[in-house]
Structure 1
Amino acid sequence: MSELGEMPRQRHDLRLLGPALAAWLAAGVTLGLRPVVAYGLAGAGAAALVFVLVRMRRTRVNSPVRGRTWAGAPLSGGARVNGPQRGGTWVNGPLLGRIRVNGPGRGRTRVGDLVVAVLACAAASALGVGLRGSAVASGPVRELANAGRSSVVEAVVTGDPQAVKRVVLVRARAEVVSVRGRRVGVRVPVLLIAADRRWLGMVPSQRVRFMARLTPPRGAELLAATAIVRGPPIVLGPPSALQRGAEKVRASLRRAVERLPKDQRGVLPGMVVGDTSQLDPRLAEEFRTAGLSHLLVVSGANLAIVIGGVLWACRWLGFGRRLAPLAAGLAVAAFVVVARPEPSVLRATVMGVIGLLAMLTGRRRQGLPALCAAVLFLVLIDPSLARSYGFALSVLATAGLLILAPMWRERLRRRMPAFAAEALAVAGAAEVAVAPVLVMLSGEVGLVSIVANLLAAPAVAPATLLGVIGGVTAPFALPVARVVVWPAGLAVGWIVWVARTASGLPYAVVPWPGGALGAMTLIVGGCCAVIVLRWRRVRMIGGAAMAGVLVAVVGLRVFAPGWPPPGWFFVACDVGQGDGLVLAAGPGQAVVVDAGPDPALMDACLTRLRVRDVPLLVFSHPHADHVDGAAGVRHGRTVGTVVTTPRTSGRETRFVSGLIMRVAAAGQRWTVGDLTLEVLGPMTDGPRLLFNDDGTTVNNASVVMVARRPGFSVLLPGDVETEAQRALAASVPHVQVLKVPHHGSRSQDPAFLAAAHASISIVSVGRDNDYGHPAPSTIALLQKLGTHVYRTDQSGDLAVTRTAGGLAVVPHHT
């Protein structure tokens, strides 16, 4: 990246921009559609291409050019001119539709050539999607998935396993499936979802066997099936020699950093090779809030640092112009193998190879054409990148560095030192370029990210280079590697401090409309800002308007009531993907129903609510996203009775040892102050331990309660799914507020939701969760029932309070 930023100022070559965008758009549109549609679009593009070529071939040149005329030959054979033109002579051109000269006009491409290239790339991209779609949409794996059947599968792991909440996600290539007792050979990509944590030990290229229930893939991914895996993997063979070496380097790097502080040993492997297996999820969230999450994945910046370090070492060792790029190329190949071929790594690799080829051929490297070539190449070989937000962020960040950073750097150099201008231009250009996509994803705008990146930037290169050296050294000399990574840990410690400090600042992020609407409004706002900054009078008007807004915001902050809102009845805490519900029961007192997955988040929510005493703690069911935060409820507070479901795995008991335990039963009533809780379900005769928790069984055994106090009522159904909802629908009373079951999953019974007659529905759900919660069908059903839907992932903590007009929901972003 830094090499691209140092290019002499010049006009950008945009000839590859149209073809690259055409291929990207064609793949993005056709992904998820039936293969026949992709073939149809490819055919339409090919037909249009043939039409243009025929028209171009029949065209004759007969047009004046600055007093001269060119005539005669069809464009396919080149064009001739009858005299010199500004110091050069027009000559026959070998390219269809191109007129080439040996003077200043040489290299200009006619519009026809651009149309031909755009149509060809769009057709090729659509055809590639169609071919891959046909491969995964047919065959025995998809047939088993459509039927929802189980099968014994043999597969090769193709990506690093990822732990997501309670499951492990593994990318694999199915090679053998069992169909009616017969082994059938296949070769299609599948996504494995496993509950057994032993899957985390799998390494790419390892062959495994497992039993799984196959289901059709969700969304627009080019997968033959999603496999719900039962039990641990049965390993059939070791990884390839290359992957064994890569895993040895990654494991050695983890051993080299094991003596560093916890945060440093979690972040450094992520910065060096993308290994985030030891990273604290809470720290990862702080990096995201501070706008530094790009440092935790392998990207073009990592590769640029590695290439720069290798080239510097080659220069110091006296390698010649030819040997240095070859050494850098080997380093790139080794880096990609160790870091795994993720989308960001592939994009960075292609960019690096283009730069190395430019060095070998002696031609000046041009940034924007190289980026367009990388996009075109990657989309054609892997169309699924067309809908990858990570790929889009990577491309946009690089484009910002190539287009915006040089202009801003030149302007800033007039007012500040060159090094400061360079750093500010690079950080600002990257942030501005990716802002629309980040808004689409998160519904937030970061206000501290540029400053955080400026502060962290000086430590990134030392941490990365020393981490790479430590990773290379660790397999052979672990003590030496531990010495090498110690200063790298100091650099990482600075970055961690920046992330924590920036994320903890007030208004580090501010809410913004999400989706395409949010991206468009942000772009419009940016254009307005450019207009304001460009003209003096408009600047004065804009400054006056901003001053007025600032006064209004400060005034509201000073005079508006704080958090929690006075007279609150109920709060759904933003605890991520889980439930943490609080019912006011008197001054400093509250009943807590479920505690979320994270003790720190639950503790922080209760602290904000000034809750000191919890006379009743209810666990609707013993899943981690409802009970693992129990320590946060107990932190510094008095907890009385604990109520659990009769059907339990016993998981919750380890968090509440020493407390009074009660088992809920339908018809029970609990009273705390003027708050009454009535148990509606589960309907069961006695305690029962569930040692084989298949998820749905325990969800349907959730404690279902109605809480009432004067002027307020709420239904708290835990995670009950369709079967339990149907059984309880007749006993559901009318309430004002509904906590939507199971985080808004699609397993909802319309009669159960309708029976509540709630005017307010609250979905407790985590941002960007991997379950697809809340399901669009559930949100549509709730809206059809006439209830107002609020979500903790979009609004933070949600408090229900009473106003002059009735109940109101007050959000609070943490």
Structure 2
Amino acid sequence: MTALVLLGCPAGAGAVVAVVMAGGALAVAVTVPTGGMRGLRNAVIAVLACAAAVAGSVAFRVHAVTTGPVAELVERRASVAAEAVVTGDPRETARRGGPFRRESFVVPARVESVETAAGRVTLRAPVMLFASGDEWRSLLPSQRVAVSGRLGPADPGELLAGVMLVRSAPRVLSGPSWEQRAAGALRSGLREAAGVLPPAQRGLLPGLVAGDVSQMDEQVRADFKDAGLSHLLAVSGANLAIVAGAAVALARMAGLPLAARAVLAIFAMVAFTIVARPSPSVLRALLMGGVAAVALGTGRSRDGVAALAVTVLGLVLFVPDLARSYGFALSVCATAGILVLAPRWRDRLSARMPRWLAEATAVAAAAQTAVTPVLVLMSGQLTPVAIPANLLAGPAVAPATLLGFVAALVAPLHMGLAELLVRPAGLATGWIVEVAEHAAGFPLGVLPWPGGVTGLVLLAVAFPVALLVLRHRWPRRIALALLVGAVAAVTVAAPIVVRWPPPAWLLVACDVGQGDALLVAAGPGRAVVVDAGPDPVLVDRCLRSMGIGEVPLVVLTHPHLDHVGGLAGVFRGRRVGAVVVTPHGAGGREGAALSADLARRRVAEWAARPGARWRFGPSELTVVGPGPTASPPGAGEGSAVNNASVVVHVRWAAGSALLSGDIETEAQGELVRHGLPPAAILKVPHHGSGRYDPAFFAAVGARAALISVGAGNGYGHPAPSTLGLLHRLGVRVHRTDLSGDLAVVARDGSLAVVSRGRRSPAAGGPARPWGSARDGP
């Protein structure tokens, strides 16, 4: 707590706290007699002394990063050329758009010299580099690079001299150290060997073994988060315990003496540390895993708690900014839960189930209970599904980790043998992927909960109440009955009340945030996808919820990220026929990246032509735009791309819909001049932008409009003027930001719109489960 508070304060505050705490410890030692209060006296002295040491350490480091040449340059926002040593793995920032956006990286580094107008200055200052370009991906810790860019201040509370917005590609001045080179070769070999596995398993195996998630599928990552399995993707003490335990077991089978077993275990942990790449997080995992293993192995949890406290103190003394790391907090809380809660729960559960099952259940439950307050602070949610998910996934973690670890060691020597080893590891990772996928979609698996301090206060109130209920038989039975009833209501009654996918659905506007992703019915288990939204995870989830396994046609109206960024989610586990794109080739780099991605996937790319028609199941799709002069020469680049959107008219037996991409005023006017087919349903252009032609809306004659838009977006979509015009025309508006996924269904010979009921009411009128929309004139 001392470090957590003082990291956001000036160095002087830390120095004052250190002096006050040290003085307090000395005063207690001198004035309080060693009598019956000896235990309490010593505890107070120890707490004050530890607080003084941590405050002094924080003050020293805060002073180091807030003074000196780099701090002065940061204050001036100076542009400099610098030489820096990479101190951590380049981390790709969360991005949307697959191959359609330039890669961006955050790179921990230590600046060792800067070149300014006043000359060259030699120093040592920790910074964070913000850079873009694939050249950064291959850098290894300990490499020295030359960069240029502009310095800026770091976020408050970070032990950084500043951040640098890098303008140039890195110029490598020296190679990595031998251990980092070895780690890079071993990790690269494991990735290559895992190439024989299916995509989901291929990306997961390096993550389980060494925390390398560079090739991990975004959907799998999201499923792991929702299922409470994300900890498997970070190097933890569990990894080291698995490897060391296997080494000891092999040594015991070989009849080696105790000393030899210890040496072999140490060798295995060192080898694993190299594979996982030496870093502070791996050191933390080694210490935490060692504490838990020693305590549980000896059965002396009290000694384990003392060892954990000493370990935490040592880490915070040498790396004070760990106090603000959620990863560190999760690791400490999980270890503490296993040490304090797991033995008691295991003993109580052993009376009702086999001991091995009791131990596994107790460890998973204790760890999850202990990390819940941190998870509430982080994400504002509870994940009760995490306990059964960890129980089911747990047996597959050890074989996957061990086989992957051995494959990484073997790969540089014999790639064929390494590939043989990863195949059974792929079976284990495949099981974990299945567990994560089903757990992520389980009803009530993730419960919303207030985040921040409010959530912690509510949790502090709810926990003792739950404890009192569970300690008595009848309240416990009542609570269990209520829980079973709630699960039954969600799993059985909810699909009856809100059936999804709805029967006889014809069109679905997926809730993908600020973007478009539409599904047109093409027969059982099939759909034509019109745009793919910004996020592969969201569009894949929508397709999965609708039971779509085959996509005969994809129509990408134009190559903007909010329409093509999620394309990888469409391809995930599905057969895709062909992709239709705008004929104008608009979009510059994004359009070229789209074509390259389709060529890599070996999927046919067709240019849309007005009049082109396809028939799939109940749906007939006809291209009605863009025309040859959709955007005048004076239009800006963004408007030109929007006006080049492919416009599709869809007809069913019960009515029709117009899917208008992001066309703006110019393209809308051209469509009106050339004759626009009427439609009962209008997908409003450009998320309800204010750039529209009133004649276009009148010519469509729709009775219902779908607006695909992100909640709280920064573009002001949908524009009040657009909503006002639609209301004056008598069009009922349905928005994904208010109602979630929207489905157009056939009902009594006409079309109706039904939402998944996430939020209500929809804009444009009072909430109703159904809103009919017949063909216009």
TM-score by length of 2: 0.71
| Equivalent AA in structure 2 for residue 370 of structure 1 | A
Is it true that 1:54 corresponds to 2:27 in the alignment? yes
1:483-540 CA-partner distances (Å, limit 9, x unpaired): 3333333322322232233334344323333333334434433332221121234335
Q: Which amino acid aligns with 1:270?
A: G
Partner of 1:469: 406
Q: Is the 8 A contact 2:739 2:758 kept in 1?
A: no
Partner in structure 2 of residue 117 of structure 1: 46
Question: 1:551 deviation in Å?
Answer: 7.4
| SS in structure 1 of the partner of residue 160 of structure 2 | coil
CA contact (8 A) 2:180 2:278 kept: no
CA distance in 2, matches of 1:525, 1:652: 51
The answer to whether the Cα contact below 8 Å between 2:709 and 2:736 also exists between their aligned partners in 1 is no
The aligned runs of 1:713-792 (5 Å cut-off) are 734=721, 736=723
Q: CA deviation at 1:346?
A: 2.1
Give yes or no for the alignment of 1:336 onto 2:273: yes
Work out which of the residue numbers 154, 157, 180 in structure 1 matches 2:83. Answer: 154
Structure 2 gaps, min length 5: 96-102, 521-526, 599-604, 610-625, 650-656, 668-685, 726-732, 741-755, 772-777
Q: Measure how far apart 1:582 and its partner are.
A: 6.3
Cα 1:798–1:608 change in 2 (3 A) is farther
* Alignment partner of 1:129 is 2:102: no
Partner letter of residue 43 of structure 1? V
Bigger Cα displacement from structure 2, 536-545 vs 263-272: 536-545
Q: What code does the residue aligned with 2:161 have?
A: A
Task: Write the letter of the residue equivalent to 1:253.
Answer: L
Flag the 1:551–1:162 CA change in 2: closer, same or farther, 3 A.
closer
What whole-Å deviation, never above 9, does each CA across 1:594-647 have from its counterpart, x for those lacking one?
633445743653786899999996548458975756967996899797899787
Q: How far, CA to CA, are the matches of 2:687 and 2:121 in structure 1?
A: 42
Separation of aligned partners in 2, 1:597 and 1:331: 43
**Amino-acid identity (%):** 41
Aligned residue identity for 1:650: G
2:155 maps to: 218
8 Å contact 1:274–1:298 — kept in the other structure? yes
Q: After alignment, is 438-447 or 707-716 more displaced?
A: 707-716
Q: Is the 8 A contact 1:706 1:715 kept in 2?
A: no
Quick check: 1:619–1:643 contact (8 Å CA) kept in 2? no
After TM superposition, give the deviation of residue 471 of structure 1 in Å: 2.2
Deviates more, 1:511-520 or 1:800-809: 800-809
Q: Give the Cα–Cα distance (whole angstroms) in 2 for the partners of residues 380 and 629 of structure 1.
A: 45
Output the CA distance in 1 between the equivalents of 2:245 and 2:143: 33
- Residues 154, 174 of structure 1: 8 Å contact kept: yes
In structure 1, the residue matched to 2:664 is: 679
Whether contact under 8 Å (2:130, 2:166) holds in the other structure is: yes
Aligned to 1:659: 608
- 1:623-642 to structure 2, matched below 5 A, reads 626=565, 628=567
Amino acid at match of 2:42: D
Q: Does the 8 A contact of 1:714 with 1:735 survive in 2? A: no
Q: Could you tell me which residue of structure 1 aligns to residue 222 of structure 2?
A: 285
Tell whether the 8 Å contact from 1:619 to 1:627 is kept in structure 2 after alignment.
Answer: no
Question: In the aligned structure 1, how far is the partner of 2:438 from the partner of 2:18?
Answer: 52
Measure the CA separation in 2 of the matches of 1:652 and 1:170: 25
Structure 1 match to 2:69: 140
Match of 2:198 in 1: 261
Q: Distance in 1 between matches of 2:484 and 2:267?
A: 56
C-alpha RMSD over aligned residues: 5.0
| Structure 1 residues 706 and 240: alpha-carbon distance in aligned structure 2, compared to 1, 3 A threshold | same
- 2: CA distance, partners of 1:549 / 1:461: 35
Residues 208 and 464 of structure 1, relative CA distance in 2, 3 Å threshold: same
- Report how far residue 155 of structure 1 moved: 0.9
Query: Retained in 1: the 8 A contact 2:9–2:157?
Result: no
Q: CA offsets per residue over residues 10-31 of structure 1, 9 Å max, x none?
A: xxxxxxxxxxxxxxx1111122
For the residue of structure 2 that corresponds to 1:257, the secondary structure is helix
Q: CA deviation at 1:303?
A: 1.0
Aligned residues of 2:6 and 2:13 also touching (Cα < 8 A) = no
Partner of 1:28: 4
Taking the aligned partners of 1:574 and 1:702, their CA distance within structure 2 comes to 12
Contact 1:645 1:703 in 2 (8 A): no
Corresponding letter in the other structure for 2:515: D
- In the alignment, what sits opposite 1:233? 170
Code of the aligned partner of 2:408: G
In the other structure, the counterpart of 1:248 is 185
600-609 or 47-56: which moved more?
Answer: 600-609
Counterpart code for 1:50: G
Change (3 A) 1:554 1:167: closer
So what's the TM-score if we normalise by structure 1?
Answer: 0.69
Post-superposition shift, 1:250? 1.8
Give the conservation status (yes or no) of the 8 Å contact 1:737–1:762.
Answer: no
SS at match of 1:595: coil
Separation in structure 1 between the aligned mates of residue 246 and residue 544 of structure 2, nearest angstrom: 49
Q: Distance between the aligned counterparts of 1:152 and 1:332, measured in 2? A: 40
- Quick one: distance in 2 between partners of 1:137 and 1:571? 54
Deviation at 1:297, TM superposition (A): 1.6
CA distance in 1, matches of 2:545, 2:766: 26
- Look up the SS of the partner of 1:386 in the other structure: helix
Q: How far 1:266 moved relative to its partner?
A: 2.0
Q: Could you tell me whether the CA contact under 8 Å between 2:113 and 2:121 is conserved in 1?
A: yes
* Structure 2: distance between partners of 1:372 and 1:737: 62
2:310 is aligned with 1:373: yes
Unaligned runs of 5+ in 1: 1-24, 61-74, 80-98, 100-107, 585-589, 683-700, 739-757, 766-794
Which residue in the other structure is 2:326 paired with?
A: 389
Structure 1 contact 603–635 (Cα < 8 Å) conserved: no
Distance 1:560 1:631, change over 3 A: closer
1:309 aligned onto 2:246: yes
How far apart in 2 are the matches of 1:720 and 1:643?
29
Kept in 2: contact 1:440–1:519 (CA 8 A): yes
Distance of aligned partners of 1:145 and 1:659 in 2 relative to their CA distance in 1, 3 Å threshold? farther
**Are 2:626 and 1:650 equivalent residues in the alignment?**
no
Structure 1 residues 4-19: aligned runs within 5 Å? none
After TM superposition, give the deviation of residue 298 of structure 1 in Å: 1.0
Shift of 1:349: 1.7
Aligned partners of 1:671, 1:471: CA distance in 2, in Å?
50
Q: How does 1:188-199 map to 2 (within 5 A)?
A: 188-199=125-136
AA at the equivalent of 2:762: T
| Counterpart AA for 1:534 | R
Does the CA contact (< 8 Å) of 2:705 and 2:734 recur in 1?
Answer: no
Specify the code of the residue in structure 2 equivalent to 1:121: C
Would you say the 8 A contact 2:107–2:128 is kept in 1? yes
Q: Are residues 149 and 591 of structure 1, via their aligned partners in 2, closer, same or farther at CA, if it must alter by over 3 Å?
A: farther
Matches within 5 A, 1:688-699: none
Q: CA deviation at 1:114?
A: 1.3
Looking at structure 2, the residues matched to 181 and 263 of structure 1 have their Cα atoms a distance apart, in angstroms, of: 53
Cα deviation for residue 279 of structure 1 reads 1.7
Name the CA shift for 1:563/1:636 in 2 (closer, same or farther; >3 Å): farther
- CA offset at residue 351 of structure 1? 3.8
User: Which stretch of the first structure deviates more once superposed, 665-674 or 167-176?
Assistant: 665-674
Number of aligned residue pairs? 662
Deviation, structure 1 residue 353: 5.9
Work out whether residues 532 and 566 of structure 2, in 8 Å CA contact, stay in contact via their aligned partners in 1: yes
Within 5 Å, which residues of 2 pair with 1:495-644?
495-539=432-476, 542=479, 546=483, 557=494, 560-562=497-499, 573-575=510-512, 579-580=515-516, 595-598=532-535, 601-602=538-539, 605=542, 619=558, 621=560, 626=565, 628=567
CA contact (8 A) 1:474 1:481 kept: yes
2:379 aligns to what?
Answer: 442
Contact 2:272 2:405 in 1 (8 A): no
Per the TM alignment, residue 304 of structure 1 is displaced from its structure 2 partner at its CA by 1.0
Match of 1:801 among 752, 762, 769: 762
Farther-moved stretch of structure 1 (624-633 vs 40-49): 624-633
